């Protein structure tokens, strides 16, 4: 008798969140990288060497590369979570905890600045998504347990 792998809906929702957030981070990072490269390229047109414009463009490129790497990491974790890999759970927890920490700090800063709550929708959505990810992976161990492949009664 063959046993099916248990599937946890919260883990699947968390994986979908990580896929979408990762894709958005990847696209945003690519745009920042291109924009930063263009800004840094403007610097070299006048031939004066590296000044503030070149340094700022370089910093934007570095931010873009980091955002792309974060997006790829999140999508990689999500794919592993969807196919019930135990290491996907561990990687997803790491991504979830780091994402929750950074977006939580961002939300706290925005709340402290007196911004209207409606303008913080993206921050709220990210905090909720990363919070769901951590909670689902922390409590969803049955999603990642190997299926019992032994014959019944053995």
pLDDT of residue 55: 78
Report pLDDT digits (tens) over 74-130: 999 999 999 999 999 999 999 999 999 999 998 888 888 877 776 688 889 999 999
Q: Scan for tokens 């190997």, then name that residue.
A: 146
Higher pLDDT, 76 or 8: 76
Lowest mean pLDDT among 42-46, 129-133, 149-153: 149-153
Q: How far is CA 50 from CA 34, 46, 60, 61, in A?
A: 18, 10, 15, 15
Residues contacting 78, CB < 8 A, separation 6+: 14, 15, 16, 17, 18, 19, 22, 88, 92
* CA-angle at 18, arms to 26 and 56, nearest 5°: 30
Mean pLDDT of the chain, nearest integer: 85
Helix, strand, coil shares of the chain, percent, nearest 5, are 80, 0, 20
Residue 32 predicted with pLDDT over 60: yes
Percent of the chain with pLDDT over 70: 84
């Amino acid at each position: 008798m063959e046993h099916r792998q248990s599937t946890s809906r919260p883990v699947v929702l968390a994986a979908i969140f990580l896929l979408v957030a990762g894709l958005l981070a990847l696209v945003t990072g690519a745009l920042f990288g291109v924009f930063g490269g263009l800004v840094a390229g403007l610097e070299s047109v006048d031939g004066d060497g590296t000044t503030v414009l070149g340094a700022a463009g370089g910093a934007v490129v570095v931010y873009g590369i980091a955002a792309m790497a974060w997006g790829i990491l999140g999508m990689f974790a999500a794919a592993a979570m969807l196919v019930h890999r135990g290491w996907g759970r561990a990687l997803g927890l790491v991504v979830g905890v780091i994402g929750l920490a950074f977006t939580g700090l961002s939300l706290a800063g925005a709340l402290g600045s007196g911004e209207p709550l409606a303008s913080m929708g993206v921050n709220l959505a990210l905090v909720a998504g990363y919070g769901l990810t951590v909670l689902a992976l922390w409590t969803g161990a049955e999603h990642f347990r190997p299926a019992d492949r032994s014959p019944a009664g053995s």
